[in-house]
């Protein structure tokens, strides 16, 4: 059966957006309206004739409304295969009328949890009758139309207009697929609440999650890969998907990935002095904190101006005109910031392809959560790396203790190293990255690459010496041998911050003492694969 004329509709919605207009349009076509509770009241208040479900079933609502639509007259009217003689006979024998349209959205379970409701209220907002009707109607989509999203009302009414009061099979199939996605997402939210909140399970036996597609992207990491952007239902954290894109081309998969890396790092400096992060291929290539945003930009750029070309920029404070003009002097893909003044927007407007993303606030760098990585045959799940080290957590292991400035630089370098692909080495001096070595197969090579970048920067920008001289160097994991440490000594570093924990710690400490270095252990590592 292709087209099904809508003669009887059952409406029972929690979100009443667009309900009255939909009801009026149906009534104008002579459709009988069945409804319950607040939905029926809203339709009647609009002057529409509505038949109560209890009148239709001949059975009253009971148990505070928990039982009202769970009845053979309702589900028989939804599930009957209408061209099946046995089904038709059962409908006639039991006086079950066909229901052609179901309009249902579910109790606001997620919103109830989000507002911090008590357990009893949360339980009462687990919808039973709604999902049952949705699933019945969706299963029998050959004959029944199911609407679970008010955003689809206009399309549905367009169907009726084109067909003279009916829906097509293609439309019903599409709505059925959407309906099952809605109930699956609803059940996943309930199961996660029971597991993590009610039962306190960190990693439940079944990890049921639901995400909503925001948009499809032009392609993935490479043109032969398809891609899309999804967000969790009712996301607790704001980020790039919630940002306002002021200008520029559509963001690509790589833009999102790299811009998120920049945003996550700059969030570490929320509330600090103006800070600029420059990222390329998800790795920071320059980070600086200064008295002004413009100075921070200049210092960050000078760390590795070659890699910064075509990169991503993020700031921890709103953008101003002078900084925006300076950023526009090089090719930049994306700029992310918690606001921008008119002068900044005007400057960026001259670079029409540059994407400017403005967010309401920086995400919490120390928030809890889970991260996932798909592998062949499975999914790896772990806690988000929210580890943070303060001065009081540091253990001095060398004969020489670091100066206050060295400690500041060490913690700055450590914060940046947390966001650099392992093996990660970061040199920093006076709140500016001097050199960054990322993603090498051994720590010594990362040390040498970072030092080489610092030397190149000095030659490019006319520094008297590389900024690694007198710097602090951070290693995301312990130095397994003294060779990586000696590469830092050769670069001119005077302080080292590292997790410690190697069986050769004593050899590394001895080498540091012989070189006159100060070294502190964090007791925490930050692998980032």
Residues tagged active-site: 139, 281
In whole angstroms, give the CA distance from residue 312 to residue 254. Answer: 10
What CA–CA distances, in Å, run from 222 to 34, 247, 254, 331? 52, 24, 9, 21
In whole angstroms, give the CA distance from residue 13 to residue 338. Answer: 37
Q: Are 468 and 435 in contact (CB under 8 A)?
A: yes
Neighbours of 129 (CB within 10 A): 21
Assess whether the previous peptide bond of 423 is cis (omega < 30° from 0).
yes
| DSSP character at residue 67 | B
Q: Are 433 and 288 in contact (CB under 8 A)?
A: yes
Residue where the block lists tokens 């999102």: 256
| DSSP character at residue 480 | S
Q: Are 470 and 495 in contact (CB under 8 A)?
A: no
Q: Measured between alpha carbons, how far apart are the two ends of the chain, in Å?
A: 53
Q: What are the backbone angles phi and psi of residue 199, rounded to the nearest 5°?
A: -100, -10
Q: Are 438 and 475 in contact (CB under 8 A)?
A: no
Tell me the CB-side half-sphere exposure of residue 390, using CA atoms within 13 A.
Answer: 2
């Amino acid at each position: 059966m292709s087209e099904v004329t809508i003669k009887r509709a059952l409406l029972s919605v929690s979100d009443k957006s667009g309900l009255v207009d939909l009801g009026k349009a149906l009534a104008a076509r002579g459709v009988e309206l069945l409804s319950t509770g607040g939905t029926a009241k809203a339709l009647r208040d609009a002057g529409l004739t509505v038949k109560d479900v209890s009148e239709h079933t001949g059975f009253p609502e009971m148990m505070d409304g928990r039982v009202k639509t769970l009845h053979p007259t309702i589900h028989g009217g939804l599930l009957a295969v209408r061209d099946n003689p046995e089904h038709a006979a059962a409908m006639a024998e039991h006086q079950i009328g066909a229901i052609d349209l179901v309009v249902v959205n579910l109790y606001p379970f997620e919103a109830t949890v989000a507002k911090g409701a008590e357990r009893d209220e949360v339980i009462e907002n687990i919808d039973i009758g709604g999902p049952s009707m949705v699933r019945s109607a969706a299963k029998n989509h050959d004959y029944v139309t199911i609407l679970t999203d008010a955003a689809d009302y206009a399309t549905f009414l367009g169907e009726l207009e084109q067909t003279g009061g009916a829906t097509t099979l293609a439309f019903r199939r599409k709505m059925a697929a959407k309906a099952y996605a809605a109930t699956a997402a609803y059940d996943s939210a309930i199961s996660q609440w029971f597991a993590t909140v009610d039962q306190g399970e960190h990693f439940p036996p079944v990890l049921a999650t639901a995400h909503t597609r925001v948009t499809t992207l032009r392609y993935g990491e490479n043109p032969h890969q398809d891609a899309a952007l999804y967000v969790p239902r009712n996301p607790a954290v704001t980020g790039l998907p919630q940002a306002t894109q002021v200008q520029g081309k559509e963001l690509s998969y790589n833009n999102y990935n790299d811009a998120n890396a920049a945003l996550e790092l700059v969030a570490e400096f929320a509330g600090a002095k103006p800070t600029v992060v420059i990222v390329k291929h998800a790795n920071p290539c320059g980070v600086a904190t200064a008295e002004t945003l413009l100075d921070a930009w200049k210092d960050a750029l000078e760390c590795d101006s070659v890699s910064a070309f075509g990169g991503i920029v993020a700031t921890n404070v709103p953008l101003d005109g002078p900084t925006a003009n300076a950023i526009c002097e090089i090719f930049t893909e994306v700029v992310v910031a918690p606001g921008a003044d008119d002068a900044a927007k005007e400057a960026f407007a001259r670079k029409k392809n540059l994407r400017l993303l403005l967010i309401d606030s920086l995400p919490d760098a120390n928030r809890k959560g889970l991260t996932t990585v798909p592998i062949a045959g499975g999914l790896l799940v772990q806690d988000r790396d929210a580890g943070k080290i303060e001065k009081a957590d540091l253990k001095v292991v060398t004969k020489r203790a670091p100066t206050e400035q060295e400690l500041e630089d060490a913690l700055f370098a450590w914060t940046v190293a947390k966001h650099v692909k392992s093996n990660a080495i970061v040199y920093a001096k006076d709140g500016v990255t001097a050199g960054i070595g990322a993603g090498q197969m051994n720590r010594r090579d990362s040390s040498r690459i970072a030092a080489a970048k610092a030397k190149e920067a000095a030659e490019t920008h006319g520094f008297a010496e590389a900024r690694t001289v007198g710097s602090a160097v951070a290693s995301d994991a312990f130095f397994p041998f003294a060779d990586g440490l000696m590469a830092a000594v050769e670069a001119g570093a005077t302080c080292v911050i590292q997790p410690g924990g190697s069986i050769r710690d004593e050899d590394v400490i001895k080498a540091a003492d012989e070189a006159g270095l100060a070294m502190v252990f964090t007791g925490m590592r930050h692998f980032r694969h």
